[in-house]
Chain A
Amino acid sequence: MITSVAWRNIWRNPLRSGIIITAITIGMFAGVFSATFMKGWMNQRLEAGIETETSHIQIHNPEYRKNYDIRQFIPKGFELAEQIATNPAINGVSPRVTIQSMIASAETGTGVKIMGIIPEKEKQVTSLSEYVTEGDYFESISRNPIVIGKKLSEKLKIRSKSKVVITLQDTDGNLTGGAFRVCGIFDTANSMYEETNVFVRYQDLARLGMLPEGVAHEIIVHLHDQDDLLPTTLALREQQSDLEVLNWKELTPELGYLNEIGNLYTYIFVIIILLSLGFGIVNTMLMVVMERVKEIGMLMAIGMGKLRVFLMLMFETILLTLTGGTIGIMLGLGASLALQQNGINLSNWAQGLEDFGYSAIVYPVVEVEMVVVIFILVILTGILASLYPARKALKYNPADAIRTE
């Protein structure tokens, strides 16, 4: 009965209730939509980082990452890669040699990290081959092919089929170099990555660097399921105790923080929206309580206890908040789902975003947990907003309240 009375009471003044419900709807729409947008954006960055840059797990010689010395390789790296690949949680393993070097075109030069890969194996651990927009991924050119990033190609003022010279220090400490021909140019959402990383065939770089056969500076591991990250990392660490085994969270902790900060930011944003809406709700309910002094006095007179009066007003507030909140959440989800297909185009800010590794087209992501949390926050707002008006109502003296004009 109390809930029924509370619901009907909301509609005694349809205009006033309609206004506050609309305000809550708009607020929750904004909250949910920005949450799905942020989640999608962060997820895309994270996915791009993992799928095109780091993959899930990397294995190195423990001394390698201290100063990236070419001599700090994993002996029998290829053999180890074959061994690791038998783990059922692992989707693909790719050994690489990597050397810090200089790349130069006829126009200019710059420092890059050059990675010598087995293209077929590399396709199992990163999706970089899918981002080649000009040329191909080690298919057309047989002698010293190189794949570079779009940002780098613009810097060097070169295109597909252009020649570049790689200069590096080999294992004997000698400065050496080689000419390579651009067979493909990749375009990811990360300009910085495009500018500083280039790919050649394993055998071409190993020969240039005078590296022994079968060694690797990095063994890149890609999993079937992201949920296997920690157990697989720990298992590999135990098996390869003389090597450094790191997952993407350890290699690029900023990516992990990004995800957590994204969630935190979303909840803070929603809480701020609800806080400001809460004051509006309190104001509305105070008006309600002051208008119904006589009625509240009568209810107490005929035997409605203070707790029931309190609950009635609380339910009224919660139902008011929930009505607007539910509509807003549904609209936010609807908009997010509608935009999941084509994404939200931020290409006006594309250049700036790509400098930081963010895509210019964002696909919102709906997470059930996030929606549930927002829903709970809406209910909490209703409860908190009801406290002061309901408490005010309880202070009425029934005898005086009944006599109010």
Chain B
Amino acid sequence: MTIIEITELFKTYNDSEIQVHAVNGVDLNIEEGEFTAIVGPSGSGKTTLLNMLGGLDQPTSGSIRIDDTDLGKLKSSQLIDFRMKNIGFVFQSYNLIPVLTAKENVEFVMHLQGRPKKEREARTMQLLEAVGLKGRENSRPSKLSGGQQQRVAVARALASKPKFVLADEPTANLDSKSTENLLNIMEELNKQEKITFIFSTHDQRVVNKAHRVITLEDGKIISDNRKK
């Protein structure tokens, strides 16, 4: 089932005298449960595309439909709400809330959604166990390693059972062991939770794990390979 439908997407920046086409006519469909990597050199438009997919940036033209919702038609406050309910984010530098414990970080979005305490706690512990952090739920980010923090971030991204998770260079700050660990967890969660994962990455290890690899160059898709 197609959950993301991108049609003739453009993003243009007017930088003094030069026009920069960050995304230059992208058409793309993403199915439910995909584990997709978007690759390309720096400046190819990966991050811009991901930002627009996540509702953090508005396209110059074209449309992004998530299920039946056209992101371009949503007001700012509606976009925030939509993100909270439908999109999970994993950032390059973890971006956990430093004053909250691992458990509280994972619970945070569910708190914003107003979910009952029991439901929040159950889902949080389930995810922390799934990412291998059972027993570390009361540790603050400063007491966790980079890999552990990123695993908490993944758990947070999945807490509200979003339609898809956007991961922008999630392994950029991790060592190889932590990277492998993280990717295995994400792949496992992709299978278990049937949540779509979309990565923006330079990391070959991520590309190797991905089931579909979309290559961007100069804002255009130059290849789109699905692995069997």
Same complex for A and B? Answer yes
B91 to A402, Cβ gap below 8 A? yes
Which residues of B approach A to under 8 Å, CB–CB? 47, 51, 54, 56-57, 76-77, 80-81, 83-85, 88-89, 91, 93, 95, 97-100, 104, 108-109, 111-113, 156
Contact-residue bracket for chain A: 20 to 34
Kindly identify which residue among B85, B100, B156 contacts A5, using a CB–CB cutoff of 8 Å: B100
Question: CB within 8 Å of B: which of A356-405?
Answer: 397-399, 402-403
Kindly identify which residue among A1, A300, A306 contacts B108, using a CB–CB cutoff of 8 Å: A1
A294 to B95, Cβ gap below 8 A? yes
20 further contact pairs, Cβ within 8 A, besides A1-B108, A8-B99: A5-B100, A8-B100, A9-B99, A11-B99, A298-B89, A301-B54, A301-B56, A302-B84, A302-B88, A302-B108, A302-B156, A303-B83, A303-B84, A303-B109, A303-B113, A305-B80, A305-B112, A306-B77, A399-B51, A402-B56
Chain A hits for B85, CB < 8 A: 303
Asked if A260 is an interface residue, CB under 8 A from chain B, the answer is no
A-B pairs with lowest CB-CB distance, top 7: A303-B84, A8-B99, A399-B56, A298-B95, A399-B51, A1-B111, A303-B83
Chain A hits for B89, CB < 8 A: 298, 301-302
Quick one: CB contact mask for A1-25 with B, threshold 8 Å, 1 for yes? 1000100110110000000000000
Closest chain B CB from A32 CB (angstroms)? 31
- Kindly report which residue of chain A lies nearest to residue B160, judged by CB atoms: A303
Chain B hits for A300, CB < 8 A: 80
9 contacts between A and B (CB under 8 A): A5-B100, A12-B99, A294-B95, A295-B98, A302-B108, A303-B80, A303-B81, A306-B80, A399-B51
Closest chain A CB from B152 CB (angstroms)? 13
- Kindly report which residue of chain A lies nearest to residue B159, judged by CB atoms: A302
Kindly identify which residue among A11, A295, A304 contacts B95, using a CB–CB cutoff of 8 Å: A295
Q: How far is the CA of A403 from the CA of B92 in the complex (A)?
A: 9
Of B56, B104, B109, most buried by chain A (CB within 10 Å of CB) is: B56
Asked if A143 is an interface residue, CB under 8 A from chain B, the answer is no
Question: CB within 8 Å of B: which of A257-306?
Answer: 294-295, 298-306
Chain A hits for B109, CB < 8 A: 302-303
Q: How far is the CA of A9 from the CA of B108 in the complex (A)?
A: 15
Kindly identify which residue among B57, B81, B97, B111 contacts A305, using a CB–CB cutoff of 8 Å: B81
